[in-house]
Structure 1
Amino acid sequence: MIGASEMHEIDLTDAEVIRNPFAAYGRVREESPLARLQAIPGIDPWWVVTRHEQARAMLSDPRFEIRSDSFMRPDVPDDCLPYMRTMSEMNGQEHARMRKLVAPAFTPRRATDFRQRIESIVEGLLDATEAQASDGTVDLLPHFTRPLPMDVICEWVGIPESDRMRWRTYGATVAGGAGPDFAMAIPGIMDGAKAAIAHRRDDPGDDLLTDLITAQADDGDRLTDTEMVTLVWHLVMAGQTPTNLIANAVLALLAHPRQRELLRDDPDLMPGAVEELMRWCGPTLLTIPRYTREDTELCGTRVSEGQSVVASVAAANRDPRVFNDPDELDVTRPKGENPHLGFAHGPHFCLGASMARVQTQVALNALLRRYPDLTLASTPDELRAPCLL
């Protein structure tokens, strides 16, 4: 059994890890399936699983649970507290109950049915993005990829048109992470969710809240209003994935002209291409921390009860034990050969994965169709955050 003192250690503040996390995590993966990760100065290092098989197993193992300590919760008014504990913090039967009630509203078919409405949102945003261009150059991040997820969430939830610009601001704030603006946005999100639920009770529509209001389990169980408000908060918090996925995907395709040409010439490749882009340059580098419920063994190493464990999605998604030519971007990679962990795995597999996939497919198809000669307006090294085109 290997001891912690013999483990490779990854420092998240290391310049090389920041510059190229896929390579940095990959080097450790080839040395060991388990390492130590210095995530927050002054806090004990986390365990990080680096290989696909072991990461997938850990994410499905009930000995490793997500709990409230897995998240950095902002200070919010007392009346918001009942809505802050999302499904992500639940485990076992409590989590299974919630998942069973809401799953019918998050199926691939429901996302496909919503596709036309996403297409309309995408076209409108691109029209507005063009209006912001100066000398043919525009920053896609603030004008397109950042507002897109929140516009889709508003349409999906049924937020009135008059309130959607304010919700865009909420989305940008949440996507930015912690800070006072983050905490200040939460009461507005909660109040807007309550109002939308009340409206849909009186006037049902073709949207998520109507689905949830009418959803009922075989035993008569239903979501409470508190649970529905919490779910809307969960969507806003977790639903920002397409922002950076689309930005990363655009940059990747511009750096790989042949792959871009394949997609431009054959849009039917797009669903598989989105899976490949999620594998190759997805925005999730590490999973949400899990905590060990008991002393256990992980990858031949003793891990004590209460210690933090994460999976390195960046390393697992390029594991040569699972993927052929893992460091190559291949938009024609068969879906059956791409079991990436970009949306996690196990009981906490991303609830909104189908909607994120459709959003990304629609956005990339529209960009390639409308702008076949799209090029970078800056160097890749200058584009760690914004996507300037």
Structure 2
Amino acid sequence: MTTSPAGPNTTAGPNIMDPALIADPYGGFNRLREQAPVVLGQSADGTPAWYVTRYEEVRAVLSDRRFANNPGATPGAEAVSNQEKMLEMLEIPREFYPYISESILDVDGADHDRLRRLVLRAFTARRINALRPRVERITSELLDGMTGVADLISEFAYPLPITVICELVGVPEEGRELWSTAGTALTSIAPGSKGAAARALVEYTHGLVDRRRSRPADDLITELIKVRDEGGDRLSDVELVTMILGLATAGHETTAHLIGNGALALLSHPEQRELLRRDPGLWPNAVNELVRWCGPVLITQMRYATEDVEVGGTTIKAGEAVQPVVVSANRDPRAYEDPERFDLTRQLSERGEGHIGFGVGIHYCLGAALARQECEVALRALFDRFPDVALEAEEQTWAPTPGMRQLASLPLRLGEPSGSRLDG
């Protein structure tokens, strides 16, 4: 059995900020996975962290409540100190720490259950399903504006989810450019000043909440203002703004890059596109295979052991950090036959979606259903509208973003439109 090192700074090992790992996350994390199910390395700020690399072990960590997202739940002060180092590295002003580190993704236990219960009352499957006609209309309108050679990322993959999430939340059109640019800045873990972005979004969102208190509307902000749990408890103003920021910023960024990565995968595998043309009923399965094979999230946020826990033969001591690696787990040959093959007919596991791209357990992505819907609608409409669409360049440029796999751009030759439209 492996045990953790004696001191807090006795490790080198892999680091998510390593340029080689950023450039080739599939190869790099695959090699780590085959080295061991749990590998000692460093977090983005250089502090020690255990990388969990294999499918079963990643699922186990994500499902185990002994691993907390909130470092304050661990014994001692080391985990809290490490989180503060990370926020300092990202140059987040201390006054905005609660909005960044106390979201539904960062709390556990009763606090998490309460927040999730409150937001689920306003973020229901019925509400998401009812959005589909609007998602289809926005998609068609964006495709209407694309001709010749177009960049799929800036002209389509980004505008679609930011428009959808802003309409769902209740962000008016004049605030969406701010939401897009500042939200993108906040979701990156690359070092750099995020103070201005944090201030702009927090102040703007507080203003939106104030307006909805006096002038309710048919949007998520209004629903979250009204919602109560069984005991009559409501979200505080800080909880409300934090919840809105988390839903909106995380939702549009990851969905945009799922659409971009998915388009590239399908354009690079024409035989798979042909399967979808012949049998459109494959699209839901196709989206799950896209999330497994080229989902944008490579690694989850840090989790902390609240007590000594054994994972894959390694003892993680109380207070130590772990990072489950999504990209290596989703390509683990122990869980998938020929995992490097992109196959839309793949019979995925009976456990949920057959991948862990949206997480597992209590922190499973709240926006997963919306992301799947947007990806399916967007890609299906793109290939229906432009049946001859092709890549403009053989090589693509990937953004050097730690923890994410995202295209900087995706220039496409669209060809002649078919004339088909989702909204008729």
TM-score clears 0.5: yes
Q: Does the Cα contact within 8 Å between 1:146 and 1:172 map onto a contact in 2? A: no
| AA of the residue aligned to 1:108 | A
- The correspondence for 2:269, drawn from 251, 256, 272, is 256
1:127 equivalent among 141, 144, 147: 144
* In the alignment, structure 1 residue 237 sits paired with structure 2 residue 278: no
Question: Of residues 67, 72, 78 in structure 1, which corresponds to 2:70?
Answer: 67
Does residue 195 (structure 1) correspond to residue 207 (structure 2)? The answer is yes
Which ranges in structure 1 are unaligned for 5 or more consecutive residues?
Answer: none
Within 2, Cα distance between the matches of 1:138 and 1:99? 39
The 1:203/1:117 distance shift into structure 2, 3 A limit, reads farther
Which amino acid letter does the alignment assign opposite residue 101 of structure 1?
L
Given the alignment of the two structures, is residue 58 of structure 1 paired with residue 58 of structure 2, yes or no? no
Quote the residue 2:8 is aligned against.
none
SS in 2 for 1:331: coil
Does the 8 Å contact 2:169/2:248 carry over to 1? Answer: no
Once structures 1 and 2 are overlaid, which stretch shifts more, 186-195 or 49-58? Answer: 186-195
Which residue of the partner structure matches residue 2 of structure 1?
A: 2
Change (3 A) 1:8 1:49: farther
Is residue 34–residue 47 contact of structure 1 (8 Å, CA) maintained in 2?
A: yes
Q: Which letter maps to 1:322?
A: A
Tell me the number of residue pairs that the alignment of Structure 1 and Structure 2 aligns.
382
Structure 2 match to 1:271: 284
2:178 equivalent to 1:166: yes
**Aligned counterparts of 2:230 and 2:16: Cα–Cα separation in 1:** 47
Q: Secondary structure at the match of 2:300?
A: coil
Map of 1:33 onto structure 2: 37
Secondary structure of the residue aligned to 2:391 is: coil
Check the 8 A contact 1:276/1:330 in 2, yes or no.
Answer: yes
Match for 1:29: what amino acid? R
Contact 1:66 1:89 in 2 (8 A): yes
- Structure 2 match to 1:105: 122
Match of 1:295 in 2: 308
Q: In structure 1, the residue corresponding to 2:211 is in which secondary structure? A: helix
Match of 2:79 in 1: none
Tell whether 2:224 aligns with 1:212. Answer: yes
Aligned partner of 1:387 in structure 2 is 410
Instruction: Give the counterpart letter for 1:67 in structure 2.
Output: N
C-alpha spacing 1:15/1:169, structure 2 compared with 1 (3 Å): closer
Q: Quick check: 1:287–1:311 contact (8 Å CA) kept in 2?
A: yes
Distance 1:186 1:15 in 2: 27
Identity %: 42
- Worse-matched range after superposition: 108-117 or 278-287: 108-117
Change (3 A) 1:324 1:138: same
8 Å contact from structure 2 (residues 114, 229) kept in 1? no
Change (3 A) 1:14 1:379: farther
Measure, in 2, the Cα distance between the counterparts of 1:292 and 1:328.
35
Gaps of 5+ in 2: 6-10, 72-81, 399-406, 413-424
- TM-score normalised by length of structure 2: 0.81
**Shift of residue 386, structure 1, vs aligned partner:** 2.0
Question: For the structure 1 residues 295 and 77, does the alpha-carbon distance in structure 2 shift closer, same or farther, using more than 3 Å as the test?
Answer: closer
Task: Determine if contact 1:49/1:310 at 8 Å carries over to the other structure.
Answer: yes
Contact between 1:106 and 1:355, CA under 8 Å: does it hold in 2?
Answer: no
Alignment partner of 1:149 out of 138, 161, 171: 161
- Partners of 1:318 and 1:89 lie apart in 2 by 27
Question: 3-state SS of the aligned residue for 1:47?
Answer: strand
Which letter maps to 1:137? V
Query: In the aligned structure 2, how far is the partner of 1:197 from the partner of 1:386?
Result: 34
Residues 269/105 of structure 1: CA separation in 2 closer, same or farther (3 Å cut): farther
Counterpart residue number, 2:28: 24
Aligned with 1:327 (options 330, 335, 340): 340
- Answer with 312-321 or 163-172: which moved more: 163-172
The answer on whether the counterparts of 1:123 and 1:366 sit within 8 Å (CA) in structure 2 is yes
Q: Which residue type is aligned with residue 108 of structure 2?
A: N
**Cα distance, 1:103–1:367 mapped onto 2, change above 3 Å:** same
In 1: Cα distance, 2:300 partner to 2:95 partner: 30
The AA in structure 2 aligned to 1:2 is T
